[in-house]
Amino acid sequence: MRRALYIRIACFFLGAALAAAPYPALAFSRVKDLVEIEGIRDNMLVGYGLVVGLNGTGDSLKNAPFTQQSLQTMLERLGVNTRGTTMQTKNVAAVMVTANLPPFSAQGTRIDVSVSALGDAKSLQGGTLLVTSLYGADGQIYAIGQGPVTIGGFTAGGDAASVTRGVPTAGRIANGAIVEKEINFNLADQHSLRLSLRNPDLTTASRIAAAINSYVGGGVAEAADPSTVRLTIPANYPRGVMGMLTDLEQIKVDPDEKARVVIDEQSGVIVMGADVRISTVAIAQGNLTIRVTETPQVSQPQPFSQTGTTTTVPRTQVNIDDGKGNKLAVLHEGVSLQNLVDGLNALGVGPRDIISILQAIKAAGALQADIQVIG
């Protein structure tokens, strides 16, 4: 009994010590979510076609001559001669058809297509796409599309007002195209492959190569550059290339990334990474604001007056805000992202001013991060 008690006490203190030990905050991700495998990718397809069956919301043939030419060519193929006649239908619209051909799509499988109006059509609601060839970048036909168009918006109105919701001139056709030609890529016969990192980084590429070599037990992976990991397929690996890729996809790696601040100046959105650090810097934010308000008043003469006239008397109010209430804040060296955000919020600055402050800190050399401006 006494020995069992000692064992329980020892286990208790051991568990408490392990619980108190500091653990690094790691954010592991699967290799599957960090890389793309060379040769396994989508291919873009595009085509030009006609959507028919529109309820008077199609192209006006006078303003869209390409629609009339396409309609006449289609009718001639069906044995109808319309050359030299004036066509005034508004139930047809010329459209561009786009689709993504998934990797290893077999002949006869179906894929989704997107349809977008090319002319002055008001809506594609209720329309049907006629047979349309979808071409790849090499100019060859890889799929044929046809079917009813589904749109996510609508438009309605009368003589004095109209309402439009969403984009009624663009839609999709679920399973609207049939694959007619396959892209030849024999994955099982490959002896070496390249893994392309979605976010190129030297440290992440090296960690992925090390994790793969540790799992397989040999030097099968090599980090060639920040965006590429070369992979050699062992000849005796169980289930070959497919088996190895299936196993490697589930390996967990802690990805690294640069400290970066992304700014969208159009919307005022600011995104800062967790590793953003700044050196000691003092920040003050204040602008001189002069506000002039005009409130004219109407002055009228006394009742039954014979000489007075009604007149407008100007009244002007001028307010000046020189930012005296704003304070100077000091952010000390090595502060974290949370401290930086708290400090800027304490100054009462908005997103637009934060953008200017961050750019000024970067110009002063106190921001240890890259600033990327988009928009």
Six-digit token pair at 256?
A: 């690294």
Q: Which residue has the higher pLDDT, 164 or 108?
A: 108
pLDDT confidence of 17, banded at 50, 70, 90? very low
pLDDT tens, 347-367? 666 777 777 777 887 887 777
280 against 106, higher pLDDT: 106
Please give the residue that has the higher pLDDT: either 305 or 219: 219
| Residue pair 143/134 in contact by the 8 Å Cβ criterion | yes
Percent of the chain with pLDDT over 70: 75
Q: What is the DSSP letter of 289?
A: E
| Cβ count within 10 A of residue 321 | 13
Query: At 15, phi and psi to the nearest 5?
Result: -65, -40
Answer for the pair 179, 106: CB distance below 8 angstroms, yes or no: yes
Cα separation values, 56 from 91, 127, 130, 171, 184, Å: 5, 11, 18, 17, 44
**What is the predicted pLDDT for the residue at 287?**
54
Among candidate residues 349, 347, 367, 350, the one with its CA nearest the CA of residue 358: 367
149 pLDDT more than 90: yes
Instruction: Measure the CA–CA gap between 132 and 124, rounded to whole angstroms.
Output: 16
d(CA 339, CA 280): 12
Distance CA 46, CA 44 (A): 7
pLDDT at 229: 95
pLDDT of 177? 97
Q: What is the pLDDT of residues 227-249, one digit of tens each?
A: 999 999 888 888 888 899 999 99
pLDDT digits (tens, 9 = 90+) for 181-215: 998 888 888 888 999 999 999 999 999 999 999 99
Query: What is the rounded average pLDDT of the residues 54-60?
Result: 91
Note whether 279 and 333 are within 8 A (CB).
yes
The residue written with tokens 């991060």 in the block is: 369
Q: CA-CA distance, 210 to 222, in Å (whole number)? A: 8
Predicted local confidence at residue 334, as pLDDT? 58
Contact 222, 216 (CB under 8 A): no
Q: Region 68-89: what's the mean pLDDT?
A: 86
Q: What is the tens place of the pLDDT at every residue in 21-38?
A: 333 445 789 999 999 998
Evaluate if residue 323 carries a pLDDT over 80.
no
* Banded model confidence at residue 7, pLDDT cuts 50, 70, 90: very low
Average pLDDT of the residues of the chain: 80
